[in-house]
Structure 1
Amino acid sequence: MTDATTKRGYEGDGEGGLQGSVIAVAGAAGPAGQATLRKLAEEGATVVACDADAERLAQSVDAARFAHGGATVTGDTVDLLDPAEARAWAEKTEREFGRVDGLVHLVGGWRGSSSFAETDLGDWDVLHDLLIRTLQHTSLAFEGPLKRSGNGRFLLVSALGASKPTAGNAAYAASKAAAEAWTLALGDAFRKAGGEGAPPAAAVILVVKALVHDQMRADRPNAKFSGFTDVKDLAAAVAGTWSKPADELNGTRLWLTPAP
């Protein structure tokens, strides 16, 4: 795996650079999902969002539609812990829109402890489902459609902790590291599918220390959030991955925080 370092990631041109693309966003109901839906809609993509929380998902979809009048943004309530539901979502998306050019995996969660000795292995069970199992299901479901796109992207948002685990974050860091390894295996599948030529899609890991958004700043006005990535910058990095060739990006880690 190779690394690429950037302060904010690749940015879209703001002029409909993704016009005609169909991009799915998993885990779209949170702040990162909201920012990503808006940015992709701004860039002209048809955006197909999913989340297990129907009410919050509807709010995210409505906000993206309102921000960019005329944009096609849809939402599906999907339990990504069910492989059949994940596959049905992928099949429905490709059938309805004719193609799938991206899957942005934003399903997240955090559990930790004050020391290594106090690690609760129940946290591993929770994080295994949230951070690994959902990723496995979406990647297996969307591999085919992304290959057929010819310029697909599978994007995982990971954390600095996967490369530099700390004593109190053993379960979280191990889960993120496993998710990264799985994503790189998908990247190898894309590489092999390309044969002697360029891969038909790219699997990319975007690395943050942590994410921050406007409400967090409002709630903690004295906090510095040093090294954190704003969700709007994450969204710009996501959109910008289509501005680079798949063979340059496939199997890479894009650092949105200083690398260790």
Structure 2
Amino acid sequence: MTQGHRLAGRTVLIAGATSASGAAAARALTDAEARVIAVGRDAGKLADLAAEVPGIAVETCDLSDEADVAALAERVRAASGPVDGVLHLVGGWRGGGGLAGQTEEDYRFLENSLTALRHVTRAFDDDLRASDGARLAVVSSTAVTRPLAGGANYAAVKAATEAWARAVAQGFAKAARDAGQPLRAASVVFRVKTLAGLEDDLARAFCALWGEDADAVNDTVIDLSGRSA
């Protein structure tokens, strides 16, 4: 079965979709005949994305707000049914100045990405576990393996993001074992040094997850930093 056929008809949510990476993922998923739901907090940017990638659905949501995410999940299920995939692209960068430059304001800004991931994965966990081929992917950083003082806030949040994604992976595996069923859902970490120039690589790598058995990719880290667009 081809990757396109594995993705065809599946509902995939892109969290934090109004970046270049979000647009690349929306195009790749649409080309693979998936139903795409692009989520962000800027209605204007979402409208631009919908014009750029015809056929996608867009949803305005503050992903750092638990109640807003719960309402989003209800709207998505009512309009499109359960989701089969989530690509988490909520992020950003603040850093520099050594440890003394790692302000609390900067940390809280960066922490929004982790908060959004927690809310989204909890809201859609039942959907992903029930799917016959669910995939969750988060974007982390090579800074996790070599954190620097000037990026301590950033590396700490990315490390926590990886821990959360791995916990989701363990939950998928345990649910399958407890039910006496084969594993069908997978949670994956993509690491990059920077996403600039790798937007299409990330999109292709995410789509390719549906071409692999869940057992082969669940709880794995895929380093994209050596690739070029």
TM-score if structure 2 supplies the norm length?
0.92
Decide which structure has greater helix share.
2
**What is the aligned partner in structure 2 of residue 95 from structure 1?**
78
* SS class of match (2:39): strand
Q: Distance in 2 between matches of 1:123 and 1:15?
A: 40
**What is the aligned partner in structure 1 of residue 196 from structure 2?**
212
Q: Distance in 2 between matches of 1:206 and 1:90?
A: 24
Q: Deviations over 1:53-111 (max 9, x none)?
A: 1111111122111xxxxxx3100100111111112222322232223110110001111
Q: Distance in 1 between matches of 2:139 and 2:85?
A: 14
Which amino acid in the other structure matches residue 103 of structure 2? Answer: D
Which amino acid in the other structure matches residue 182 of structure 2? Answer: A
**What is the aligned partner in structure 2 of residue 80 from structure 1?**
63
Tell whether 2:28 aligns with 1:46.
Answer: no
**What is the aligned partner in structure 1 of residue 225 from structure 2?**
257
Query: Runs of 5+ in structure 2 lacking a partner?
Result: none
Instruction: Tell me the number of residue pairs that the alignment of Structure 1 and Structure 2 aligns.
Output: 225
**What is the aligned partner in structure 2 of residue 246 from structure 1?**
214
1:203 to 187, 190, 196: 187
Query: Runs of 5+ in structure 1 lacking a partner?
Result: 1-12, 66-71, 214-229
Q: Deviations over 1:8-53 (max 9, x none)?
A: xxxxx67555111110111001111011101100111000111001
Worse-matched range after superposition: 38-47 or 156-165: 156-165
* SS class of match (1:185): helix
The 5 Å alignment of 1:139-158 reads 139-158=121-140
1:234 to 202, 209, 213: 202
Tell whether 2:107 aligns with 1:118.
Answer: no
Asked if structure 2 preserves the Cα contact closer than 8 Å seen for 1:17 and 1:44, the reply is no
Which amino acid in the other structure matches residue 19 of structure 2? Answer: G
**What is the aligned partner in structure 2 of residue 178 from structure 1?**
160
CA drift at 1:150: 2.0
CA drift at 1:146: 0.7
* SS class of match (1:204): strand
Tell whether 2:150 aligns with 1:168.
Answer: yes
CA drift at 1:117: 2.9
Q: Percent identity?
A: 36
**What is the aligned partner in structure 1 of residue 21 from structure 2?**
32
Worse-matched range after superposition: 23-32 or 119-128: 119-128
1:60 to 46, 49, 56: 49
Q: Distance in 1 between matches of 2:103 and 2:11?
A: 40
Asked if structure 2 preserves the Cα contact closer than 8 Å seen for 1:190 and 1:201, the reply is yes
**What is the aligned partner in structure 1 of residue 171 from structure 2?**
189
Asked if structure 1 preserves the Cα contact closer than 8 Å seen for 2:11 and 2:82, the reply is yes
Pairwise CA RMSD of aligned residues? 1.8
Worse-matched range after superposition: 189-198 or 89-98: 89-98
Q: Distance in 2 between matches of 1:30 and 1:192?
A: 34
Which amino acid in the other structure matches residue 104 of structure 1? Answer: L
* SS class of match (1:254): strand
Asked if structure 1 preserves the Cα contact closer than 8 Å seen for 2:3 and 2:207, the reply is no
